Structures are given as C-alpha cells and as structure tokens.
C-alpha cells in the first residue's frame, strides 16, 4: 500500500489530501450491498455511452474525474481508443470553445498579467509543489486550429496532462495544468458576460516578455523538479519562447517539437512503404508543406533529420522541402519573410508567385503532401488526384486539428487514390474497407510523443530538452510498430499500446540525454536497456 494525493474541493477551491492507495474499503453500510468495483467500470462505461453528444461525454468524464479520479483513469487506460477522442482531440476543441459556459469547478492554475510582479506568490497556492513533475502551459492564443481562445484554452492543458497519466503512468498529483491570461483578441469572448478571463486585449510583446521571464523563473523556484511543456502559443511566440528559455530550463514546445517528432516517426514508416511501391530509393522524397506556422515549420525542421540520418548534408536535406503559406510557394524573390520561414525559403525559383496548390504540385512534383494549414478541404479531389498521378503510393498527411479543420478526410483520400494513399491525420478518422481490404488511417498527433518524451525527461531529470532527445523520441515511436501493424501498412502503432510505446520512447530519450550529459539521474547510466524499460514500467502509476 502506498499514499497518494487525491484532489477534493472545499469552498469552491481545489485541495489535495493524502490517501492510502488503494483506498481502505468503505465502512459497512456506506455502499450498496452488491457494489462490485470490477462491475462498476461497466456501469461507468454504460453511462458514458448513453450520452448522444461527444461534448456531453466530455462533461460526464470531467465530472467522473472529480468524483472518482481512479475510475476515470481506469476507463482511460482500459478503453484508450474510445476515451482519447473524448478527453482530447477532437472533443477538447469544443470543450475549449465552451469552457466559460460549461465551467463548474476549478482545475489547474490561472495566472494573469495582473499577477505580474507577484507570480511567485500565485504559484505557491499549488499544493505540494515538490511533487510537481510536468506542467502544460498555454496562453490560449492559438488553441488547436481554433485561434485565440484566451482562458478558454485551459482544457487543452488539462487534456494533455490526462494523457500523461493514462499514456505514460505519470502520477495525477504530479501534473500542473496552467493557463496564462495575457488578455485575448477574441472580441466575441470579450463581449460575453460569461467569459472567465480578463476583459482586455492581449498585451504588447515587451510586456509579455517581461511576464514570461518572471513566470519561468518563479516556476523553477516553486517547482524545482518540473518539466514544462509549452502548448498552443501563437506561432511567433511559440518559436520565440522556445529559443528564449530552452537552454535555461527543462522545457519543450509540443506544437513545434512534439508534432515535429510524431510526423517524423510516421514519415519514416510512410517513406518505407512508398519506396517499396515505387522502387525508388528511400530518400527520393520531395515534401510539400501546406501551412507554414509553428507546426508546419516545426515539422519541416524535424523532417530534415530524416534525410541527415540517411546520409544527406544539412543543405541537401533542406532542399527536399518546400513550404506553402497563405500567399503560395515560399521563395526568396517573393519579398520579406517572417524569421521562421526563411530557413526553408527556396532560392531556386524566381518567377511570379505560384499561389494555387494544384500549380505548386505540378511544379514541385512532391512525393508527400503535409497539411498544417487549418484550411478544411484544401486537399480536394484535383489536388489528391494530382498527388496520385505523380506517385504510385502518395503520402498525404492532413494534420490540422480538430477534425472539421482537416485538409481532407480519410474516406475521400482513399476514394480519390483508389486505396493507394499512405495517410495520417491529426485528428482521428474511422477505418474502412476498400475493395475487400481493411484500411486503417494513421493519427499523426503529438499525443504519441509527449507522454514518452516527458517521461524520459522527467525520469532522467534533464537540465534541458535537446534536439537529439526529440529526434530519439521520434525514432522510438517509428520503431515501435509490431509485425502485425507493419503487415497492415500502418505508419503508427495502435494507441491501445500507448504505455509500452511511451516506455520505449522514454528509454530512447534517456539514452540521448545521457549521451549529451544533460541527465541528472546518473544512476540510470549503469542500467541496461532492459533494466530501464522494466524500471519505467514498474514505476508507472496505475489506477487500482
Ligand atoms: O492537441 C492536439 O491535438 C495536437 C496539437 O498540439 C495541436 O493541434 O495544437
Ligand atoms: Mg497543440
């Protein structure tokens, strides 16, 4: 028997209390005579399934988490592929949009620009800060593909952290969801009397920088063992704060690095399938990115490592990549470009702007088309057919979230390529049958990466998260497919195995951290791979 911290509420405030784990049986008379915990999970599942709308299911699960944390995670772990889309993408998108309307109880920390100068004292209201290991921090400025949602971004931090618990066995009381309120430019919310954030526009970059400097410093003081995951900051801030803080504190940006790693993993497997069909070398890839925000450029950077791992120079790797933004193909002669696009801007084209995606495909002749644009249906029939014309097995990854912003659906991509597409999307699509074949879409969502990357970083107590740790997480994921999954042409493993996958990713991350000397748990250096895997699996928190 061990002791865990269980959240409870008093006077509208969340507190934590110490409880034996598993709990002592209730005294006689306090529960129904035939109550059987093993059957109770079926009751909870039936209650969940009786709700018609996904948002109702989300609300039910949130309340279950309040009332019976253990049962909530028991359901998550036992029914991962059913529950994940409800507590996370895509339903969490609606939960964010409706957060101020559906709000019931406090969960997580809100820190606002009004706290500037005393952020430390606000952080101290968190109970047991020494137990904190992982925080997901958002400023709500670019939630999924839904734009600036202000403090309504909190559910994204909560949802990601639930996956840390369910998918990597992090203890629930080690997780700290944080939403920063730096104002919002969402006028609809500012006008809404129920909106739960400050009634002001976003602050200037300078004020935000000062706030973020104080916030990150105070976080490191209050939570000495914490890893920070930045989530859904607007593109410029995502890049700026990653580079501002990454050498000072243990942190990563999920949208740049997590998404980059998950797509690299899927791409490694997709490239092998496409090479098999075309007979051309594995590295004969030309990758077109539709969307050049934090996710698009983050993924592009990560994918260059696919080529450098296969013997290309950095320059050669960069030449395999083309970016498209709202003004079409990104190239030097087009005019001044934002900083984050410059690295991939083409210098081998100087004609008039090419703006239509179809024309760009004809010019580039890509083997892979990756969508990170949040423009629904941008990969329409002519676009997908053009990809199929150039490739026996085109790689098409519409990665925008949530599902209604996806650049195309799985069913359309299958139909328009006669089943030849190698497909992964950001949000889940159902599998289908085509000409008697079972076709299963991949889900190229960072949920495969961050639990394992975080677990490895936490267990080895890194001083910082390096590029090679992120790359190692991707390769760990890519190699985690079983033979059966490879036979089904999958590019990602089944999410039901997420805990095994997270352990394998964490092992790779730990080894990469050791190689670079950024690990502080140096005891792990003496252990074999098998011993580390066993250690990780044994230490994972389990609902009883
Ligand atoms: O949350 C997700 O599903 C993936 C992600 O980070 C994003 O779209 O911003
Ligand atoms: Mg995100």
| pLDDT per position as a tens digit, 131-148 | 999 999 999 999 999 999
Average pLDDT in the 456-466 region? 98
pLDDT above 70 (res 433): yes
Report which secondary-structure segment, H or E, holds 287: strand 287-290
Q: What is the CATH number of domain 449-539?
A: 3.40.50.10380
Q: Whose CA is nearest to atom 8 of ligand 1?
A: 144
Domain 2-249 has CATH 3.40.50.10380: yes
Angle formed at CA 453 by CA 449 and CA 173, multiple of 5 degrees: 105
Residues known to be catalytic: 88, 160
Q: What is the dihedral of CA 246, 247, 248, 249, to 10 degrees?
A: 50
Domain ranges for the chain: 2-249, 257-444, 449-539
For the Cβ of 403 lying below 6 angstroms from any atom of ligand 1, the answer is no
Which CATH class name applies to 257-444? alpha beta
For the Cβ of 254 lying below 6 angstroms from any atom of ligand 1, the answer is yes
- Cα 196 to middle of ligand 1, angstroms: 23
2-249 and 257-444 agree in CATH topology: yes
pLDDT band at 1 (very low <50, low <70, confident <90, very high): very low
Q: Whose CA is nearest to atom 2 of ligand 1?
A: 89
Query: Quick one: which atom of ligand 1 is closest to the CA of 231?
Result: 6
For the Cβ of 173 lying below 6 angstroms from any atom of ligand 1, the answer is no
For the Cβ of 234 lying below 6 angstroms from any atom of ligand 1, the answer is no
Token pair listed for 60: 């039910």
Other CB atoms closer than 10 Å to residue 158's CB: what's the count? Answer: 23
Average pLDDT in the 280-291 region? 93
pLDDT above 70 (res 253): yes
Residues 6+ away with beta carbon under 8 Å from 515: 468
- Cα 294 to middle of ligand 2, angstroms: 10
Other CB atoms closer than 10 Å to residue 405's CB: what's the count? Answer: 23
Between the alpha carbon of residue 366 and those of residues 121, 409, 432, the distances in Å are 53, 20, 26
pLDDT above 70 (res 16): no
Q: What is the pLDDT of residue 493?
A: 96
Q: What is the pLDDT of residue 109?
A: 96
pLDDT band at 496 (very low <50, low <70, confident <90, very high): very high
pLDDT band at 300 (very low <50, low <70, confident <90, very high): very high
For the Cβ of 255 lying below 6 angstroms from any atom of ligand 1, the answer is yes
Q: What is the pLDDT of residues 316-345, one digit of tens each?
A: 999 999 999 999 999 999 999 998 999 999
Separation of alpha carbons 42 and 40, rounded Å: 5
Q: Which ligand is nearest to the CA of 447?
A: 1
Q: What is the pLDDT of residue 26?
A: 72
Report which secondary-structure segment, H or E, holds 96: helix 91-97
Q: Which ligand is nearest to the CA of 296?
A: 1
Q: Cβ(417)–Cβ(379) under 8 Å?
A: no
- Cα 288 to middle of ligand 1, angstroms: 20
Higher pLDDT, 51 or 29: 51
What residues pair up with 107 in beta bridges, in sequence order?
none
Q: Which ligand is nearest to the CA of 259?
A: 1
Query: Quick one: which atom of ligand 1 is closest to the CA of 254?
Result: 6
Is-cis flag, bond preceding 8, omega within 30?
no
Mutate to test the pocket of ligand 1, among 96, 254, 427 (most ligand atoms within 8 A of CB): 254
Q: Whose CA is nearest to atom 6 of ligand 1?
A: 255
How does DSSP classify residue 186?
A: -
Between the alpha carbon of residue 370 and those of residues 278, 433, 444, the distances in Å are 19, 24, 11
Whole-number average pLDDT of the chain: 94
Q: Whose CA is nearest to atom 7 of ligand 1?
A: 144
Between the alpha carbon of residue 236 and those of residues 261, 293, 319, the distances in Å are 20, 8, 24
pLDDT above 80 (res 7): no
Q: What is the pLDDT of residue 389?
A: 96
pTM over 0.80: yes
Separation of alpha carbons 435 and 18, rounded Å: 57
Q: Cβ(377)–Cβ(407) under 8 Å?
A: yes
Binding annotation for (S)-malate: 142, 401, 445
Q: What is the pLDDT of residue 455?
A: 98
Token pair listed for 342: 């410059």
The region that residue 3 occupies, defined by phi over 0 for left and psi between -120 and 50 for alpha, beta otherwise, is beta
How does DSSP classify residue 32?
A: -
- Cα 349 to middle of ligand 1, angstroms: 33
Exposure on the CB side of residue 236, measured as CA atoms within 13 A: 7
Report which secondary-structure segment, H or E, holds 513: helix 498-516
Q: What is the pLDDT of residue 37?
A: 85
Binding annotation: 142, 231-232, 255, 401, 445
């Amino acid at each position: 028997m061990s002791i865990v911290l269980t959240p409870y509420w008093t006077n509208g405030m969340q507190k934590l209390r110490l409880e034996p784990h598993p709990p002592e049986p209730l005294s006689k008379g306090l529960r129904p005579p035939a109550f059987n915990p093993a059957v109770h999970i079926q009751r909870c599942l039936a209650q969940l399934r009786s709700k018609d709308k996904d948002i109702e299911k989300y609300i039910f699960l949130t309340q279950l988490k309040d009332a019976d944390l253990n049962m909530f995670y028991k359901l998550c772990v036992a029914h991962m592929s059913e529950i994940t889309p409800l507590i996370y993408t895509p339903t969490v998108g609606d939960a964010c949009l409706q957060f101020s309307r559906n709000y019931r109880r406090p969960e997580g920390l809100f820190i606002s620009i009004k706290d500037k100068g005393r952020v430390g004292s606000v952080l101290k209201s968190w109970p047991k800060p020494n137990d904190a290991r992982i925080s997901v921090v958002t400023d709500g400025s670019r939630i999924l593909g839904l734009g600036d949602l202000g403090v309504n971004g909190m559910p994204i931090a909560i949802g990601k952290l639930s996956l840390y618990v369910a998918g990597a066995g992090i203890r629930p009381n080690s997780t700290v969801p944080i939403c920063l309120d730096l104002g919002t430019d969402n006028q609809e919310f500012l006008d809404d009397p129920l909106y739960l954030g400050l009634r002001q526009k976003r602050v200037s970059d300078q004020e935000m920088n000062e706030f973020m400097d104080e916030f990150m410093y105070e976080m490191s003081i209050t939570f000495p063992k914490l890893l920070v995951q930045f989530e859904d900051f607007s593109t410029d801030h995502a890049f700026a704060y990653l580079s501002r803080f990454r050498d000072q504190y243990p942190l990563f940006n999920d949208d740049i690095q997590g998404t980059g790693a998950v797509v690299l993993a899927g791409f490694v497997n997709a490239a092998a399938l496409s090479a098999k069909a075309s007979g051309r070398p594995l590295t004969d890839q030309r990758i077109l990115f539709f969307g050049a925000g934090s996710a698009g450029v983050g993924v592009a950077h990560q994918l260059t490592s696919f080529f450098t791992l296969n013997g290309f120079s950095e320059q050669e790797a960069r030449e395999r990549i083309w970016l498209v933004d709202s003004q079409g193909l990104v190239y030097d002669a087009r005019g001044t470009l934002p900083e984050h696009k410059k690295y991939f801007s083409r210098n081998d084209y100087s004609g008039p702007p090419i703006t239509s995606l179809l024309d760009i495909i004809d010019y580039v002749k890509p083997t892979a088309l990756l969508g990170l644009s949040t423009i629904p249906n941008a990969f329409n029939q002519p676009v997908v057919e053009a990809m199929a014309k150039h490739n026996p097995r085109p790689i098409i990854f519409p990665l925008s979230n949530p599902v209604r912003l996806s650049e195309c659906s799985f069913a359309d991509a299958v139909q328009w390529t006669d089943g030849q597409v190698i497909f992964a999307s950001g949000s889940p699509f159902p599998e289908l049958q085509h000409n008697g074949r079972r076709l299963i879409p991949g889900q190229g969502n960072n949920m495969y990466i961050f639990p394992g990357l975080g677990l490895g970083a936490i267990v080895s107590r890194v001083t910082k998260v390096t590029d090679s740790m992120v790359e190692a997480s991707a390769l760990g994921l890519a190699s985690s497919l079983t033979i059966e999954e490879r036979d089904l042409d999958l590019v990602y493993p089944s999410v039901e195995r997420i805990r095994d996958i997270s352990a394998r990713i964490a092992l790779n991350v730990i080894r990469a951290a050791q190689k670079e000397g950024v690990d502080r748990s140096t005891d792990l250096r003496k252990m074999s791979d098998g011993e580390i895997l066993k250690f990780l699996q044994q230490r994972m928190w389990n609902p009883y």
